[in-house]
Amino acid sequence: MQLEKIAVVGASGYSGEELIRLLQNHAGVELACVTSRQHAGKALGAIFPKFKGRKYDALAFAPSEVATVAASGARIVFLALPHGLAAEFAGPLLDAGLRVIDLSADFRLKDTVVYKEFYGQDHPAPALLPKSVYGLPEIYRKEIAVAKLVASPGCYPTSIILPLAPLLKAGLIDPKSIVVSSMSGVSGAGRKVEADYLFVECNESVRPYGVPKHRHLSEIEQELGAAAGSAVTISFTPHLIPVNRGILTTIYATPAAGATPQAVADAITQAYRGEPFVRLGGGESYPDIKNVAYTNFIDIAWRHDPRTGRLILMSAIDNLIKGASGQAVQGMNLMCGLPETAGL
Amino acid sequence: MQLEKIAVVGASGYSGEELIRLLQNHAGVELACVTSRQHAGKALGAIFPKFKGRKYDALAFAPSEVATVAASGARIVFLALPHGLAAEFAGPLLDAGLRVIDLSADFRLKDTVVYKEFYGQDHPAPALLPKSVYGLPEIYRKEIAVAKLVASPGCYPTSIILPLAPLLKAGLIDPKSIVVSSMSGVSGAGRKVEADYLFVECNESVRPYGVPKHRHLSEIEQELGAAAGSAVTISFTPHLIPVNRGILTTIYATPAAGATPQAVADAITQAYRGEPFVRLGGGESYPDIKNVAYTNFIDIAWRHDPRTGRLILMSAIDNLIKGASGQAVQGMNLMCGLPETAGL
Amino acid sequence: MQLEKIAVVGASGYSGEELIRLLQNHAGVELACVTSRQHAGKALGAIFPKFKGRKYDALAFAPSEVATVAASGARIVFLALPHGLAAEFAGPLLDAGLRVIDLSADFRLKDTVVYKEFYGQDHPAPALLPKSVYGLPEIYRKEIAVAKLVASPGCYPTSIILPLAPLLKAGLIDPKSIVVSSMSGVSGAGRKVEADYLFVECNESVRPYGVPKHRHLSEIEQELGAAAGSAVTISFTPHLIPVNRGILTTIYATPAAGATPQAVADAITQAYRGEPFVRLGGGESYPDIKNVAYTNFIDIAWRHDPRTGRLILMSAIDNLIKGASGQAVQGMNLMCGLPETAGL
Amino acid sequence: MQLEKIAVVGASGYSGEELIRLLQNHAGVELACVTSRQHAGKALGAIFPKFKGRKYDALAFAPSEVATVAASGARIVFLALPHGLAAEFAGPLLDAGLRVIDLSADFRLKDTVVYKEFYGQDHPAPALLPKSVYGLPEIYRKEIAVAKLVASPGCYPTSIILPLAPLLKAGLIDPKSIVVSSMSGVSGAGRKVEADYLFVECNESVRPYGVPKHRHLSEIEQELGAAAGSAVTISFTPHLIPVNRGILTTIYATPAAGATPQAVADAITQAYRGEPFVRLGGGESYPDIKNVAYTNFIDIAWRHDPRTGRLILMSAIDNLIKGASGQAVQGMNLMCGLPETAGL
């Protein structure tokens, strides 16, 4: 069987590294090209000791150029680049006939005004936005399968949209009541060499940041709004916690009038019946980062609080896998007609 | 000068250990008696290697008996015992003429019905409740100074009540709108030898627990209600995070009609003007556990979110100090007429 | 193809859990039976949330009985039991015609006198010792392939024997000069619910233990002696460090007269040429636990110190994989005639 | 009483920060001046949130200039600068009549040839070397008290010299047999903003580095040689471990002919009798970083291994306190005629 050829552009950050880790264990595709400005010409195993002795040990980083990627024979290309830069690569790659899975924020927002509001610059490639599909397979499975351009969701958004979307779609919660508190491992910041992310500054530390208007709010509210059928505005506070990987999200919402706890449970359960990567917790379990680390699962649990009337939803993902590279591979599987769980 | 003599009953848990650490550096009092059923007869330095070579290295644990404590000459006694057991000691110690600072939950609640609801048993010493003072110096400073029985607040409550009380008192927030998410280091669970608290189960793990009705809600709502002048019911979700010490709390609340961000800032600022252990963050700072670890400070910051209209308050404390033993020593200082910051 | 059926006895510790994690990803075998006294009757996914939604989610723990295991159709059985107990199971299982891979220390030592010296009791099944093969594939590959009883090596021993054996075999180092310092993650202690292994006692802590005579010395010296062709006695100090997984070992040895640095490098390089799980570091690299975590690799590097004349060897493994369950699966692959790297 | 005035030059690294933390709790001196090129003009509490609300909150960083320091009235100045730079400040400050405690490596070595060998440059101020005293109070107490220039020891050296010096002095161990393995928390690398020290690169990681010739070997061997009365060359391997603070050192040495375990124990015990910051472990204890963290103690224990004949010594310190700033304050106390333990 001819394996689908794949490229990864910008493979030196944590998402790119995790993509390669997943692809080296994926029997259904061939990693034909990895690029990095910084490491061009060096072998993967020489830059990442963890890849020594593995399948792609000797694969050399190519320079991050469209022509090189196109020449590699890759049919699908992952962009693991900073936002802004990703948009510069996407157009030419699409023009060259490749399908693109972008892990940055560049193609997640449909509204260029919102993009400018949250990212502080004009959108670099607005003409491509109508083509892009938000890469959350549990919601856009069919669209992803045939997409030319997939915008892989952010880590926080994945942990927030999946628990809430079925409830908003069913009109079971008041969209104005949503309050979200999330805790992320430090790899969520990427491999940024800044004092804030030094070991001594993060270990034995917990801190909120990005209050009250973290960039991810834009895509969260877009997708929650799509589920609700009307605009949704929420409160969201991210926190940095001393773990390498993982996001734990706790969501508070007031049920809509007449929405019973049973109706809530039913809506979530039906929405995710048969989903290979969504695990729903029974009455007594709690999501825990350690149970999803190194997997593509999202664990979701919930409780109704009769004292306040509020619903509390909790979720856990590995931010580098279901929150980034694993979800992107899940999308790639759909695009290739492979089993959705292949390599995951 | 004759130093005030102090006893610590139940000195083998984390709170008791931290009390001793603080008292050994406190020049204004003398630790006359420490008790432990488990370690009776052994020297402090033999049980806790960290106390070797320090002031109380050779002090031997006495058995945990009222007569022994009374005979030690101590005038003030800290109870660092499980709830239920603390109440058994408090009465006889008070009868013997000692003043008691209890670190358990036994004397924090004024309402025995609430006690039973949250602790699952009848209150063991209801007659003592009217005498007890909730040991939060920023709110009950005068009462603590003359109290016979001080109920030292819980760790989560300290981190939640201090940011909210001035706002509720001034009628600046809607009491029904309060949602709280807290993250606690593992020492908050005490020195419990249970699988859940093993290193491998906590490291690289984050998990919520006690949802939706953690026991601390009872004292939080009692004190918030006292500030508001009417009953307050809130949502509260604690999370266990892999740090030894510290609590980070994030609070969401909707301002009352007409309450401006400036009015909020003024109310908090005025409430804590001159407070030695309350530090208020300016517009750009965030509380961080690492800045309060090993201190008796609470750091508080806040933001107004014009998108949702909500106020977001954030606080950080060391759960073993401002959340337990440091706060108890602060109270002791008041009771002894010492400078409130002595030894802290 | 008929898949080989496998059983795991005592599947509730960290090694057993890791075995199951590896076997669920192994396409070449079928996990037919898992046993646990504690969890008998409950499904794997109900006890270990991380196994929910995976291949063996619904597999119920059987009681830990020989008859049950034999009746499962399993042809190979892993024993993940405490030493002493493992020996009780091995004999009857062998008698029932199963092949046994024991992860305990029970069958690692050939000499019952040494067993008694280090384990403080008479060997429970001395008659089985002649049949057992020390399960280090890099050294005993052929013997493992046909063995009925494999004694899977300890974690520290794996990290120490592999770097040293080729040098001792070639007579390149003075056997009397060997000094070893190892650092182990906390999972090395197993899922023991003891105060020493609580998060707060291990985090921000580093401590030596078992000095000067850790039990693993017995098998280390047996195997080093076998390589050297004469008795070897070494110094070995293990340390507990705050990571979940991994062992980092640093070894000091004096080269034998005339043994050049090049001869050392050649001996190690030749010994491990073609080995799928041994990665040798070049001149500038250092082994790091993070590069081998969640893999079956051992990374080995070395330096010659012209100032002291000593050779310094460094190795890193994942204690739960190459140091326990991964190595056992590697052995199982050999026993089944599967590719040695299958599932790893 | 007139308090001695103190200055800290280069107060923005971890050692400088820790110095300020210690000095703010020190009742016997006054911090008159802190300097930082980077933060000049800003208040201490504005740069370090942890110092808000403390004694020196409002003290502004001065520029790092000799004239400014001299004009502050400070009589003793700590240099917390990179090596090389420290030497540039020391001369002019000494000329201005100040006494200098240098925390860098610049004045630790008596031999400029050794300095060049290990630090790769000519010594920047060789004329000052004869004046400098190695600031280890347990060995050079009298010299420190009257010194103009104190070279505060490195962190690893402190943990290695103190256990070994009494044994070398008494001729109880073979100087050629010494092998040392040390594990250091990440603050030992200083506040260097490099990828190697990012949280994700250090957490769940353990790695050796600087093998076989770490710079600290130069001062270790100088001081061990001074104790032995002849040149000493040792093997030393440092490791980076995921804790914020602390060094754990394990030392192997062969006793000299006729040196009994009792003689070893007696030599160490007598050497450190009455020492306020040296704690000797009995037969069953092990040093642990957590017992010395946030203190100026060094914990030392040892075992004799009859199997190999080797002696194993183990020590633990807080690298930022006994390994740096605490030791410097201990020296300052001696220089000021204050109690040696003041503020520690």
Distance CA A248, CA A289 (A): 6
Assign B175 a pLDDT band (cuts: 50, 70, 90).
Answer: very high
Q: Chain D contacts of C207, Cβ < 8 Å?
A: 248, 286-290, 316
Q: How far are the Cα atoms of B236, C124, C141, C215 from residue C129, in angstroms, in the given order?
A: 59, 10, 18, 18
- Chain C environment of D248 (Cβ under 8 Å): 206-208, 239
Q: Are B342 and B26 in contact (CB under 8 A)?
A: yes
- Using an 8 Å CB-CB cutoff, list chain D residues near C316: 206-207
- The helix (run of H) or strand (run of E) holding residue A202 is helix A199-202
Q: Which helix (H) or strand (E) holds A24?
A: helix A14-24
Instruction: Pinpoint the alpha helices (H) of chain D.
Output: 14-24, 44-47, 66-71, 85-95, 112-119, 137-146, 155-169, 199-202, 216-228, 261-271, 289-292, 326-336
Total CB pairs under 8 A between chain A and C: 31
User: Which 42-101 residues of chain C touch chain B by CB within 8 A?
Assistant: none
- How far is residue A221's CA from residue A235's CA, in Å, rounded to a whole number? 10
B279 with D53: Cβ contact below 8 A: yes
Radius of gyration of chain D (CA): 20
Q: Which of D33, D155, D202, D336 is catalytic?
A: D155
What is chain B's alpha carbon radius of gyration, rounded to the nearest angstrom?
20
User: What six digits make up the tokens of D13?
Assistant: 């690294």
> What is the per-residue pLDDT across D73-86, written as a single tens digit (0 to 9) for each?
999 999 999 989 99
* Partner-chain contact A312 B205, CB within 8 Å: no
Q: What is the mean pLDDT of residues B28-44?
A: 95
Given CA atoms A43, A44, A47, A49 in this order, what sign does their dihedral have? negative
Per-residue pLDDT, A283: 66
Instruction: Give C108→chain A minimum CA distance, Å.
Output: 29
A204 to B293: CB separation less than 8 angstroms, yes or no = yes
- Find the mean pLDDT for residues A197-216: 97
User: What pLDDT does B2 receive?
Assistant: 80
Residue B164 CA to residue B315 CA, distance in Å, equals: 10
CA B227 – CA B230 distance, rounded (Å): 8
**What is residue D187's DSSP assignment?**
G
* Contact flag D14-A200 (C-beta cutoff 8 Å): yes
Chain B interface disruption, residue of D14, D52, D344, most B CBs within 10 A: D52
Between CA B81 and CA B64 the distance in angstroms is 10
Q: Would the CB atoms of D208 and C250 count as touching at under 8 Å? A: yes
Read off the tokens for B79. 């109870």
**Facing C212 at nearest CB: one of D179, D244, D305:** D305
* Among D residues 193-212, those touching chain B with beta carbons less than 8 Å apart: 204
Q: How confident is the model at residue A2, as a pLDDT?
A: 81
Question: Tens of pLDDT along D262-282?
Answer: 999 999 999 999 999 999 996
Selection from A169, A170, A203, A168 nearest residue A185 by Cα: A203
Which of D159, D179, D213 has the highest number of chain C CBs within 10 A, making it the mutation to test binding with C?
A: D179
A203 neighbourhood in chain D, CB within 8 Å: 186, 199, 203, 242-244
Interatomic CA distance for residues D339 and B329, integer angstroms? 26
Please indicate whether, in this complex, the C-beta atoms of A53 and C279 are within 8 angstroms of each other: yes
Is residue A311 helix, strand or coil? strand
The Cα-based distances of B8 to B14, B32, B203, D291 in angstroms read: 13, 9, 32, 21
- Residues of C with a catalytic annotation lie at 155
Per CB-CB distance under 8 Å, the chain A contacts of D194 are 193
**Which of A233, A239, A305 is closest, CB to CB, to B307?**
A233
Residue type, position A189, single letter: A
- Give the global pTM: 0.97
The reply to whether A314 touches chain B by the CB within 8 Å rule is yes
Q: How many CB atoms lie within 10 A of CB A332?
A: 29
Residue A1, pLDDT above cutoff 80: no
Q: Are strands A207-208 and A235-240 parallel, antiparallel or unpaired?
A: antiparallel
Cα gap A139→A334, rounded to integer Å: 13
- Cα dist from C116 to A103, C83, C110, C155, whole Å: 59, 12, 11, 20
Asked whether the beta carbons of A202 and A242 are under 8 A apart, the reply is: yes
Q: Do D279 and B52 touch (CB under 8 A)?
A: yes
Residue in chain A closest to B245 (alpha carbons) equals A204
Q: Residue A210 — very low, low, confident or very high, per pLDDT cuts 50/70/90?
A: very high
Asked if residue B110 has pLDDT above 80, the reply is yes
- Structure token digits, residue D216: 């600290």
Distance from CA of C106 to the nearest CA of A (A): 32
Please report the pLDDT score of residue D284 as a whole number: 74
Q: Residues 220-279, chain C: which have Cβ within 8 Å of D?
A: 233-235, 237, 239, 241-246, 248, 250, 252
* Dihedrals phi, psi of B176, to nearest 5 degrees: -80, -10
Average pLDDT over residues A54-66: 95
Cβ–Cβ below 8 Å for B49 and D276: no
**Residue stretches of chain C with pLDDT short of 70:** 1, 282-283
Smallest Cα distance from C156 to chain A, Å: 21
d(CA B34, CA B32): 7
What is the rounded radius of gyration, in angstroms, for the C-alpha atoms of chain A? 20
Residues of C in contact with D245 (CB under 8 A): 204
Q: What is the CA radius of gyration of chain C?
A: 20
* Inter-chain CB pairs, A–D, below 8 Å: 58
List the one residue out of C236, C248, C215 whose CA is nearest residue D252.
C236
pLDDT mean over D59-85: 95
Distance from CA of D185 to the nearest CA of A (A): 9
Instruction: Tell me the percentage of chain C whose pLDDT exceeds 90.
Output: 95
DSSP C97: T
Say yes or no to pLDDT of D283 above 70: no
CA distance A323 to chain C (A): 17
Closest CA to D341 of B258, A275, B25: B25
Residue B191 in 3-state DSSP? Answer: coil
DSSP letters, D95-156, are: HTT-EEEE-SSTTT-S-HHHHHHHHSS--S-GGGGGGEEE--HHHHHHHHHH-SEEEPPPHH
Chains that touch A (3 or more CB pairs under 8 A): B, C, D
Residue B282 has pLDDT above 80, yes or no: no
Query: How many C-beta atoms lie closer than 10 Å to residue B337's C-beta?
Result: 9
User: Across the interface, which of D183, D207, D234 has its CB nearest the CB of C287?
Assistant: D207
Q: Which of residues 276-305 of A touch B (CB under 8 A)?
A: 286-290, 293, 303-305
What is chain D's length?
344
Query: In chain A, which residues have their Cβ closer than 8 Å to the Cβ of B289?
Result: 204-207
Q: What is the pLDDT of residues B234-278, one digit of tens each?
A: 999 999 999 999 999 999 999 999 999 999 999 999 999 999 999
Q: Which of C203, C234, C241 sits opposite D308 (nearest CB)?
A: C234
